[in-house]
Amino acid sequence: MATFPGKKGTGERFAACVSRVMAFYRKKGKSMTEERAKAICAKIGRAKYGKKGMAKMSAAGKKG
């Protein structure tokens, strides 16, 4: 499983995941929108942390 730099709940790791997914598909010569890459990363996060874990990190990120 890939690891991404940054603290949990800040959005840095999510952004790194999105850019890595987009680069992966670009390298294969396939088109990838940012919206679709975000959906893929959200699915990966939910599989790894669960629905409650993702909600907890999102709430922590919104607090500041």
Give ∠ CA 38-43-30 in degrees, rounded to 5: 50
The reply to whether the predicted model has a pTM over 0.95 is no
- In whole angstroms, what is the distance from residue 30 CA to residue 54 CA? 28
Helix (H, G, I), strand (E, B) or coil at 12: helix
Q: Considering only CA atoms, which of 24, 5, 17 is closest in space to residue 45? A: 17
Q: Considering only CA atoms, which of 41, 32, 30 is closest in space to residue 1? A: 41
One digit per residue, pLDDT tens: the chain, 64 residues?
566 667 776 788 889 999 999 999 999 999 899 999 999 999 998 898 898 988 887 787 777 6
